[in-house]
Structure 1
């Protein structure tokens, strides 16, 4: 039995190195984590491709919902191809219809473009009206895992749905809790949930000390930064929990 894995989401080079140094098992590579994460730059993907820790690129071309036009789909396809050409370990994407259901056609198209590249279904899943239907679609599309807060703002609030999703998945796809997963909540979550991996920003709030940068609107007065100490502490906390028998993915 192995330890529960820690995936850390980062959106810059400093965060990438902090996650690696802190002992993350996998990295979700993004830009703009303040809006839930967008597709990282070509340069950041290239840098991450040299990491000893597996890096998955977020494929999300804009802020807002996950209802994509044909033009946006084409951008996402090209971003996946670029991530693959860099040698990144995997990609992360999702898509919905206007009623919240997962968009089967887009997910299948992006999965075909991904080929054998491992992939994660992101929190577009948290908008679905029917979890069982969405989990079956995720499995049909070949996703390794579903990143979800249990259709709630945070994983703690979504515990009931997370438990239900784990039961529906029955080991066929990993259910990875994310959103509000931190040193204060991890023990509660892992006491209640039988999972193999968790997702966290492992971030702390940092004051922006350049008043001109704030005044010009280039940054908020306080920003979140990946914190190497939090990565280390959360990884250490996970060491106290072994993957339950029969739940290895």
Structure 2
């Protein structure tokens, strides 16, 4: 059975994803920025209602994955904080100036994450040498890698995803993410051998405000991006038989 991980940044999406049959949650703030560390308030509330495993994103800012020593300290502090709130895992990734895994910093983060499951995220898709990057991540003890196969979408990265599944040889899980939808998910799974897929399944909905004022004309005031249960259900239907 293919596990479906849904990436969310609000409570409404948690409840929708669970009802639709998600197998795991990646919890972030600011998905519009690619996802950063969620607030303690959001984590606390999510853990009150979560019925499936929740992994917290550990990312101190948007932008590249080359972090300063101060930012690494922030990440270590965030791992400690989210652990106390009961999450089952954490998600992070970091690179050095040569576009390879920062192995020393990764070791420190893994030590701080002891007892938690760890996903290394799509920072790997920015690596110069993907085979070396995978071996570094494997040696560190990560549970899985989230990747598009070094492409703009998992559908376009099928060849590399297949190579990564072969190289991992069951030592960790390769989870396909980026552009996953009901039209391509079966093809991706069939042609790569991945057993997990990752998506936000988001849709923009109108505000529930009954009275809408100008508000200085802030477009974000009039809409909200949330998980669409129909998209998750469609993916589940597409994966029947796997």
CA contact (8 A) 2:100 2:128 kept: yes
Aligned residues: 238
Residue 230 of structure 1 is matched in structure 2 by 231
Residue 40 of structure 1 is matched in structure 2 by 38
Consecutive unaligned residues in structure 1, runs of 5 or more: 242-249
1:5 aligns with 2:33: no
CA deviations over 1:82-110 (Å, ceiling 9, x no partner): 11111101000000112211111111110
1:96 aligns with 2:65: no
CA deviations over 1:23-56 (Å, ceiling 9, x no partner): 1000000011112111111011112223111000
CA contact (8 A) 2:189 2:195 kept: no
Consecutive unaligned residues in structure 2, runs of 5 or more: none
Q: How does 1:126-205 map to 2 (within 5 A)?
A: 126-205=125-204
Task: State the superposition RMSD in angstroms.
Answer: 1.8
TM-score (norm 2): 0.92
Matched residue SS, 2:7: strand
CA contact (8 A) 1:125 1:148 kept: yes
CA contact (8 A) 2:37 2:56 kept: yes
Matched residue SS, 1:205: strand
Residue 214 of structure 2 is matched in structure 1 by 212
CA contact (8 A) 1:214 1:221 kept: no
| CA spacing shift, 1:149–1:212, aligned 2, 3 Å | farther
Instruction: Tell me, in whole angstroms, the C-alpha distance in 1 between the residues paired with 2:146 and 2:228.
Output: 21
Q: CA deviation at 1:207?
A: 4.6
| CA spacing shift, 1:149–1:214, aligned 2, 3 Å | farther
CA contact (8 A) 1:24 1:235 kept: no
Q: CA deviation at 1:211?
A: 6.8
| CA spacing shift, 1:131–1:214, aligned 2, 3 Å | farther
Q: CA deviation at 1:204?
A: 2.0
| CA spacing shift, 1:78–1:101, aligned 2, 3 Å | same
TM-score (norm 1): 0.90
CA deviations over 1:165-218 (Å, ceiling 9, x no partner): 11111111111000001112112212211111111111223356857358236x
| Higher deviation after alignment, 103-112 or 185-194 | 185-194
Matched residue SS, 1:171: coil
Q: CA deviation at 1:240?
A: 2.4
CA contact (8 A) 1:4 1:239 kept: no
Q: CA deviation at 1:222?
A: 6.1
Instruction: Tell me, in whole angstroms, the C-alpha distance in 1 between the residues paired with 2:141 and 2:135.
Output: 10
